[in-house]
Amino acid sequence: MRDNSKCQKAIFCDFHVVLDDTLAQVEVCRYCSKKVIYNKYDGRIDNEQYRRDHIRHFVQPGGRTGKLFEQIYKTDVLRYQHLKQRKNKVDEYEDWARATREAKIDLKSSTII
């Protein structure tokens, strides 16, 4: 098994497709120009080899690949942490609903002269 994911200029290669034929798929790294060829059998390529070569595309910010994600996307990690701290739409809706209820209670309890 070959390991094409290691890059000479970046941590892992970032392959993009340059040729997709019925017999093979050819990809080139954006950083180091390494070329890989995936032969197709019955119209499909080897999924496991493709996954190993495209580590950059399959890592996730949490879980087992979290440290790799941080190495690859150092600048994006801070952005991800900021987004993770932000409230989602449901929490924002609940905050607005709570504030509305409290405002209605305050209006009912206040006396209008």
Give the tens place of pLDDT for each residue, 7-30: 887 788 889 999 999 999 999 998
| pTM for the whole structure | 0.59
C-beta separation of 53 from 36 below 8 A: yes
| Helix intervals (H) in the chain | 47-53, 55-58, 66-72, 74-85, 89-109
Rounded mean pLDDT, 70-85: 68
pLDDT-derived band at 1 (thresholds 50, 70, 90) equals: very low
Q: Phi-psi bin for 15: left (phi > 0), alpha (psi -120 to 50), beta? A: beta
Residue bearing the bigger pLDDT, 82 or 62:
62
Please, which residues bridge with residue 29 across strands? Answer: 15
Identify the weakest region by mean pLDDT among 26-30, 31-35, 86-90: 86-90
Sketch the domain layout of the chain as residue ranges.
1-58, 60-113
Structure tokens at 12: 């892992």
Q: Sheet containing 35-39: which strands, arranged edge to edge?
A: 15-20, 24-29, 35-39
Q: Residues 50-59: pLDDT tens digits?
A: 988 998 888 8
DSSP 59-72: --SSGGGHHHHHHH
Q: What pLDDT, on a 0 to 100 scale, did the predictor assign at position 4?
A: 64
